[in-house]
Amino acid sequence: MHRLQGTISDMVKDASQGISFVCNNIAEYGGDPNRIYLMGQSAGAHISACALLDQAIKESDESESTSWSVSQIKAYFGLSGGYNLFNLVDHFHSRGLYRSIFLSIMEGEQSLKQFSPELMVQDPSITNAIPFLPRIILFHGTADCSIPFEARFESPLK
């Protein structure tokens, strides 16, 4: 069976491959490998946060091979992102991204936690991955209608 629609795993993998390319090739293009910053906006903020967290988890498990390191990222800036998918399902449904479609893209309701960075950083099973993450700076406007301000990320890591 051939899938016609990409899912969140595909998106996170694509983002990670893009980050890997930058980390491994920046010097060839005149960039400074010691000054790599990552930024994402809206869905891009969510996907790039997932990619960073996924990479940190892989790095904390020494048996995993990786093509880039979270340590290469000086800081991550998330702009108007949604970091807890459970808080967004109903909002998106009311705006026309119907629950069934959203859950299909997110690989089912059982995967919402796995792709919710806010919840993942609270999971005791990945505590050892948290120190691998770069500095994280999140911005969100109070008048945002796409992803409501109330659904913003609230870090337990203060």
User: So which residues are the catalytic ones?
Assistant: 42, 144
Characterize 17-49 residue by residue with b for buried, 16 or more Cβ atoms within 10 angstroms of its Cβ, and e for exposed: eebbebbeebeeeeeeeeebebebeeebbbbbb
Torsion of CA 59, 62, 65, 67, to 10 degrees: 30
Residues 31 and 38: their CA atoms lie apart, in Å, by 14
Residue 83: partners with Cβ closer than 8 Å, 6 or more residues away: 45, 46, 49, 116, 117, 118, 138, 152, 153
Mapping DSSP to helix (H, G, I), strand (E, B) and coil, where does residue 114 land? Answer: coil
Locus of tokens 């000054």? 35
Is 106:115 a contact under the CB 8 Å cutoff? yes
